[in-house]
Chain A
Amino acid sequence: MKQFSIPAVLAVTLFILMGMSLGEGINLYWQDVIMFMGINIILSASLNLVNGYMGEFSCGHAGFMAVGAYVSSLSSVALFTRSSLFGAPILSAGWAVPLFPLCLLAGMAAAAISGLLVAIPSFKTRGDYLAIITIAASFIIKSSIENIKPIGGARGFMGMGQVSAAMSETADLPWMMFWIFLGTVFTIWILRRFVSSTYGKGILAISQDEIAAEIMSVNTNKMKIVAFMLSSGLAGLAGGLYAHKLGYVNPGSFTILKSTECLVMVYLGGMGSLSGAVLSAVVYTLMLEILRFVIPWINDLLHWAQLIPAEYQVTQIWKWVLIPLLLVLLMQFRPEGIMGRHELDDYFPWIKKFYRFK
């Protein structure tokens, strides 16, 4: 029974989410929030593989996300829609649902290959120097995309809305919710299986003592390639889902700010903790949305108390002051993040009775 509890819970959750989205049980705004939550979970969990489990400092996650976003968008637009770039659709709209995962997979593969841009320098470099290389890699990717005119350059690329429309022709379901849910589960599934195997624990060994890992027969270079490619591949998946959810992409979405958001989520959740990565992505997404309501209240409160000049308004920009401030406080009082190095079942051992990870 235990091995079916998690699939059952996931299936029920998916069913409820789809049903509620379809029947207006949750409005479009909350649907968006839930979908961004899923994308953020993928981002933070995948970055956690490199920054948490392997102990490297990668801060170019947005670059890999961009590769995934563009490659999957280009392939889905070429396959299923009429566009100025590719002309008539190659396949009929009926193929959109079964073949959409392949487009995402293409984005993942491309992002994983671009991950080599970081993986190969990591053989000889680590720590701060590797961090600089990861930033450079993300800039290389971003400015390359900006300079490819046919795919829109800096203006971005659109047409993915029609892909969603093509999927809706098969059945009128909230398809993006479905794909993001599957993508999130897939990410956690693949990472969980990787890091719990003796093979995957090789990367933990690298983080704790790379020299000892090498001498104890761990092929450190190979493990670094595996970890970087898996991490960037999953970032590519997040990018693909993000692009199709919004219906357009532009290189401006994949700046260092996006990478920083991923970093914040990893450190908020705890390095080397998958449940921490999930939890922090949920908390972080909610926090951004809650601030949307809280900031006007703060504004009203401060005006009421006459603490700020009447003509000054506390705007949403203050979000980017309050969230980094939260990070400062977190690092000060709980530097290991919400979960530390532990998983949920280390804190609540009784939940082990109800499930078994396979």
Chain B
Amino acid sequence: MALLEIKEMNHAFGGIQAVDHFNLRLKGGELNGLIGPNGAGKTTIFNLVSGFYQPTSGQIFFRNTNTAGLKPHRITGLGLARTFQNIRIWPEMTVLDNIRVAHHHSLGYGFLDCIFRTPTFLRREREVTTAAYEILESLNLKDYAQELPKNLPYGLRRIVEIARALATRPALLMLDEPAAGLTSADLQGLIDMIRMIHQTFQITIWMIEHQMQVVMDLCQYIQCIDFGVTIAEGTPDHIQNNPAVIKAYLGDDTFQCC
């Protein structure tokens, strides 16, 4: 049984074929990369898998469930979490609350429990708070628990967003350009952190990334897409030397590269 299986997925925005016959099979435990020039359709693939868009054709199976027609929060409940290219944490809620609210699907109590403060409610609130602190601790964010994310520096906000995604207890974590906007000094820290998450949380990671340093360092298997079409896939070494990839990134005419 594969963790995630994408079969012949297509997606068109009007006349533009954004994703063209995309295939992927993650059996679980991998750290895979998805690269491609701007506008290649990488984020569209993430939006399709996380349930924001419905594929025009093709199928997505997550943990043997066909995710067609499922709302994003249901898919997240199945164990798939993602981050966004432009950080989307809740800026006016404390870091701790950001993490706690991400437990929404597993709260296990409803409106009446919350009004009457039933034993279930009290127990679950305690458990959720403990779990949230554990996640913050593992990512060295504990000191910021009571801060508002809008007051945090950019690099930390990225980490908070990853922490929040981890709080949904995913089996598959999809990172959309985690290194975007980070300084080169922060980059090594990010690489170490992603590797740490992959190992300690025992989860599969699938990431979109532009920074070749990050991708080549971390990923075991990389797919490169251009105009929605998968133009190359393989190990980092294979991708680095693939003429089609070089052509897609640098263009035909090497003089125009700058």
Contact = CB atoms under 8 A, between A and B. Distances in A.
B114 A218 contact: no
B90 A197 contact: no
A215 B97 contact: no
Contacts of B106: 217
A276 to B, nearest CB: 15
Contact of A217 (B77, B84, B90, B111): B77
Nearest to A358: B117
What is the interface of chain A mostly: helix, strand, loop, or mixed?
helix
A164 B92 CA distance: 46
A198 B168 contact: no
A288 B238 CA distance: 76
Contact of B102 (A211, A216, A219, A226): A216
Contact of A211 (B77, B88, B115): B88
A82 to B, nearest CB: 37
A214 B117 contact: no
A329 to B, nearest CB: 25
Interface string A200-216: 11101100110111111
Interface string B113-146: 1110100010001001000000000000000000
Contacts of A204: 90, 92-93, 97, 101
Given A198-B125, A215-B73, A205 B93 contact: yes
B109 A199 contact: yes
Nearest to B148: A341
Q: Size range of the interface on B?
A: 35 or more
Given A193-B117, A198-B100, A212-B84, A217 B105 contact: yes
A253 interface: no
A190 interface: yes
B114 A202 contact: no
Contact of A218 (B52, B73, B92): B73
B205 to A, nearest CB: 17
Nearest to B77: A217
Contact of A194 (B72, B92, B114): B114
Interface string A257-270: 00000000000000
B25 interface: no
Contact of B82 (A199, A202, A215): A215
Contacts of B113: 199
A212 B89 contact: yes
B84 A208 contact: no
Which 6 A-B residue pairs are closest in the complex by CB-CB distance? Answer: A217-B105, A212-B88, A208-B90, A217-B76, A197-B114, A216-B102
7 contacts: A194-B111, A199-B109, A201-B93, A216-B76, A217-B73, A217-B104, A221-B71
